[in-house]
Structure 1
Amino acid sequence: MTESLRRFPDWWQAANESGSTEALARVPAVREDSCGYSESIESLAEEVPVALVYNGSSHAVMMATPKDLGDFAVGFSLSEGLVGEAREIELVDCLHLASGISLQMLIPQHRFATIAGRDRKLGGRTGCGLCGTADLEAAIRPVRTVASTPPPQRQTLLDAFSLLHRQQALNAASGAVHAAGLLVAGGALIAREDVGRHNAVDKVLGAAIRHGLRPCVLLVTSRASYELVHKAAQLGCTTVAAISGPTAMAVRIAEQAGVNLVGFAREDRMTIYHRAG
């Protein structure tokens, strides 16, 4: 067990596994097809406002799936560059309020001073990436350069996506959430789901770091945007692979960071937009 994981109370670890708020809701609906109408009970993905609060000050409110919130707190804090190491984060409390969930964290004062100077208050949208950034200069942050390596073989990536698909329990039930998978050193695949693709990435990155695993290859069931490549590079991933296409900005960031960028990794093909190493 790593130092960063020991800093999480036992009750928080339990909440991270299941969550005090259910990730799925059951609602009545009416299905219509060529045979007519039928009543049904449908499983829908929950999304709730989740506030990330540092030293008593709210920095971001994201619409997120109320599951794996310990991973989310760590992954967001690291991928956004708010702290440099997981051990700098102390999770104090997870407050379930009528209006949403508040993740209360303590970080070193010099880190908090940097956050306060950013003038960035994120207001919660499900697909939020850069919303809330105060000015254009702050929107495109410098990217970390990773140790460049060749991308995995095509079949390795396709097999990993197939395994990721089998681990999407929430999406299988609701059809409404994204997934992010992470191949870590040693070849294991970690998966997390969320209604927001950025949140899913933060959760899976946080899960790896909390368990002392080194992120290598990030898989996303969405397009590859600038923000996703930036987050991956921030934590040392050498490859980002998406089932859809990347943006042009994502390709430019991948080139700067030395990250392999792969799109349309599905069925029996993939497109390499940047090859490093």
Structure 2
Amino acid sequence: MKFDTETDRTGYQERSVLRHRGTSSDNAGRANDRVAEELPVALVVNGISHAVMMVTPRELEAFALGFALTEGLVAKAGDVFDIELREHERSFEVNLTIAQEDFVQLKQQRRSMAGRSGCGVCGIESLELLDMSPPPITAPPLHDATTLPPAIARAVAELGRHQELMSATGGVHGAAWCDASGAVLRVCEDVGRHNALDKLIGHLARDGVDMQGGFVFMSSRASYELVRKAARMNIPMLATISAPSTLAIDIAAEARVKLVSFCRKDGCVEYT
């Protein structure tokens, strides 16, 4: 599968700002600032609207493929036959053509949810859709207590040089794919941490990368959805710069995903 629009947008816009230095109004001046883009992206599956996400509009085909995989819309990358991107004035639409058996299952799931009574986001239907009990991964452990710290230190040291959008705007998350030694091989960026991870997974799946042989390093906190997405893809380890939540820890433990947070050059905290 070929992504036709991989580098079509910068992911930011320039806006005029009034920049203040110090406490005196005499130190204020007009300047141009680069601001990360955030626009609605509609995901349409076999002609039926499935979801609308707020995304930085770059690498959208990779995002759509990654989303389809990590959210269980398809079983494998080969089940996505075509991805078509349409740009509107202030939004985007990504049309996915998926295998009929996956589409039938998706329609059955949507139909089983229709017409049920509930209490909105706190209802049992919403909790079921969260998929908070992923099956254990089958990938073998990637690190032990000896090899983990140097791999994390290398990933931390290398991440910044790959974050072009972060350098330009200061306002996006990065999802990095690292080999077992911690070398950063690819980084995807987005205003949403889960979007950045979906973009990364979309690229890895498109390229046929063995996701058991490396780990994901995120420039964010570790939330439950990041762990769940990693578990779906049989990724053995998720590392993050900031703290995890209790639910992220619980899901990682259940799925046997190694969760490492507070990653710094001089150390990290292993939670599972």
Letter in 2 for 1:154: P
Q: Is contact 2:74-2:102 (8 Å) kept?
A: yes
Partner of 1:15, secondary structure, is coil
Look up the match of 1:263.
261
TM-score (norm 1): 0.85
Greater Rg over alpha carbons, structure: 2
Give the Cα–Cα distance (whole angstroms) in 1 for the partners of residues 39 and 82 of structure 2: 20
Q: Deviations over 1:93-151 (max 9, x none)?
A: 2100124111111112221122223339xxxxxxxxx9999522222343132224043
**How far apart, CA to CA, are the structure 2 residues paired with 1:44 and 1:236?**
34
In the aligned structure 2, how far is the partner of 1:181 from the partner of 1:174?
Answer: 18
Tell me which of 152, 160, 166 is aligned to 1:165: 160
Which letter does structure 2 place at the counterpart of 1:23? G
On the 8 A contact 1:93/1:104 being kept in 2, the answer is yes
Number of matched pairs = 253
Shifted more, 132-141 versus 188-197: the winner is 132-141
User: What amino acid does structure 1 have at the position aligned with 2:55?
Assistant: A
User: Which structure 2 residues correspond to residues 109-124 of structure 1 after superposition, within 5 A?
Assistant: 109-119=100-110
Contact 2:142 2:180 in 1 (8 A): no
Partner of 2:116: none
Q: How does 1:35-54 map to 2 (within 5 A)?
A: 36-54=27-45
**CA offsets per residue over residues 1-30 of structure 1, 9 Å max, x none?**
xxxx3xx3xxxx3412224xx411011000
Whichever residue aligns with residue 91 of structure 1, its letter is D
Aligned position for 1:154: 149
How many Å apart are 1:87 and its aligned residue?
Answer: 0.9
- 1:112/1:133 CA distance change after superposition, 3 Å: farther
- Give the CA deviation at 1:85: 0.9
Identity %: 36
Distance in 2 separating the partners of 1:27 and 1:83 = 39
Query: Could you say which residue in structure 2 is the equivalent of 1:32?
Result: 20
CA distance in 2: counterparts of 1:94 and 1:87, whole angstroms = 18
Report the counterpart of residue 221 of structure 2 in structure 1: 223
CA distance in 2, matches of 1:113, 1:38: 58
Distance 1:185 1:150 in 2: 7
Q: 1:161 to 1:91 in 2, by over 3 A?
A: farther
The 2-side partners of 1:99 and 1:182 are apart by 31
Contiguous gaps of at least 5 residues in structure 2: 112-120
Give the equivalent residue in structure 2 for 1:126.
none
Q: Quote the Cα distance in structure 1 between the aligned partners of 2:105 and 2:266.
A: 46
Gaps of at least 5 residues in structure 1 are 121-129
**Cα 1:39/1:47, change in 2 over 3 Å:** same
Q: Which residue number corresponds to residue 58 of structure 1? A: 49
Matched residues in 2 for 1:110 and 1:131: separation?
A: 31
- RMSD, matched Cα: 2.2
CA distance change for structure 1 residues 158 and 185 in 2, over 3 Å: closer, same or farther?
Answer: closer
Conserved in 1, the CA contact under 8 Å of 2:154 and 2:265? Answer: no
Matched with 2:118 is none
TM-score, normalised by the number of residues in structure 2 = 0.86
Choose which of 205, 209, 212 in structure 1 pairs with 2:208.
212
Whether the 8 Å contact between 1:167 and 1:191 is mirrored in structure 2 is yes
Secondary structure of 1:135's match? helix
Give the counterpart letter for 2:163 in structure 1: Q
C-alpha offsets along residues 67-95 of structure 1, whole Å, 9 cap, x if unaligned? 11121111111111111111110224210
- Are 1:197 and 2:193 counterparts? yes
1:158-198 alpha-carbon deviations (Å, 9 max, x no partner):
21122111111101110110000012479662110000000
**Structure 2 counterpart SS, 1:82:** coil
AA in 1 matched with 2:31 = S
Would the aligned equivalents of 1:164 and 1:181 in 2 still touch at CA under 8 Å? yes
Which AA in structure 2 matches 1:71?
A
Matched, 1:181 2:176: yes
